[in-house]
Structure 1
Amino acid sequence: MMLRPTALVGLLVVLCLPAPSLSAERPARIVVDPGHGGAVGGAQSPTGLLEKDVSLQVARRVRTLLEKELGAQVLMTRDEDIALPLPERVEFANEQRPDLFLSIHCNAMPTKRTRARVQGIETYFLSANASNATARAAADRENAEAPVAKGGHGDSTLAFILQDLARTEAHQDSSRLAYAIHQKLIASTGGSDRGVLQAPFYVLNGVEAPAVLIEVGYISHPEEGGRLGRADYQERLATAITEGVKGFLTEIRKRDAPKGPKVAAPATP
């Protein structure tokens, strides 16, 4: 595929822009995205608990802990029960120029048999291809609110290539962030470890920062769905997410710290 000169210039400009440096001198800026809201309730527990409510409650606890423990500047895509289209969530996040993006959701199974059996925690980062059928199903469910793509196939392919090239480092850091959070969640909650997975989530595609989507549990499971509604369990989830973010930021700040000039060894007389 040949790129026009103007497209090539645009690509070079994007690639040559300096990546934002997360120094130890300034607080991290983090966007927290509680899934769904308003008329879109998301998944539901056997007792009628809605994903939109759990995700908002956990997100608020995450915000409080990130501010308290890390001194972070935390902005939420929504802080009340309102509907917010997926494109607006991405647009809001990018306007804040965040260091991290965390989208919080609850998972669900479609049939009576699987709802009674499947539980556990999954943490996702973006990929064009889903890790497995479970990841594909999760992405399809969360993407149900996404607008239908417009434009020709060629335009979409070019846009994806440009975005992918410009966000390579953010994508790699998304993987690191996902593993850092997931390990803390499993250790803290004792929940079933369903792994760190990849899937084409709309809300992650376009965020210009390390971004993850956290399925904090299967709200459709009789026991796990009940736990997700408890304040003490939500606090445990929020604490684990905060600890994961803290570990990730420590690693990234160490990696990106300016390297001092090498001091030459004294000359031997």
Structure 2
Amino acid sequence: MMDTVALMLASFCAWTVLYGLCCALQPSLPHTWHIRVVTVVHALIIVTLSAWCLLVQGPWVFTDPGGPNTSLQHLTVIICLTYFLFDFFWCLYFRTEGPFMLFHHMLSLAGNSLTLYYGKYGTELVATIFGTEITNPFLQLRWFLRQTGHGSKWYAELNDFFFMFLFGSVRIVLGGYLLYCYLGHPVPDWLGRVGGVSMYMVSWVFWLMILKYAVKKYSKMFKLDKNRTKRGCATADQNGVVVVNNGHPKSSKDTVTSSIQDVINGHAKSS
């Protein structure tokens, strides 16, 4: 028990020092920038550790959940718990998150704490950590691209696609199958089942928010593209080439690119 407390203190201090270094090295940047750097570092570390637990060390989560925690699972949960604890305090201090995000943090803190306290649920919790954190680098990269004026670039759109694809395929589809296998397994008790269902419901809330944003964004892009096409097909030169305003041909690719830029720039101003 003392070893666990010592590891937790060391890990919490490490996150605090990392955040402090980011602030000291780049004091002109906002606090939100620094906390997102810490978030990316946590995501990369925790995804690597949880993937090793799942795919190399075992046990296999789809067939053998509910067993005692391995030492690597124990370490992974400690790192994740202390990060969420640090991030939760940061959110309370700067008042950046709403009630639902704070609830998500508290649910994560509770799940990690109970896993350490009881010495079990490590297999299924590490799988949950992997599924929830694997999309995080793409989410943070999206924010950094927008903040640095690259939100309208093609690679920003590609990053958005990968984020939505991973979220839907890993957290919703694969996570749903994992929950189905978990609830049908005789080993997990009621506490593990409640935790699994709760985390999956949180993922669905996020997924519905993402779908709502995607429908709004791409519907607006479609309307902008349609309007530009109508305005651009008014005249033709003597060779029969369609011209737009300035007399130069305009391809459909140019129109779509302009629409994407208008939508993203408008979204960045309103958020």
With normalisation by structure 1, the TM-score equals 0.26
More strand by share: 1
With normalisation by structure 2, the TM-score equals 0.26
Greater radius of gyration (CA): 2
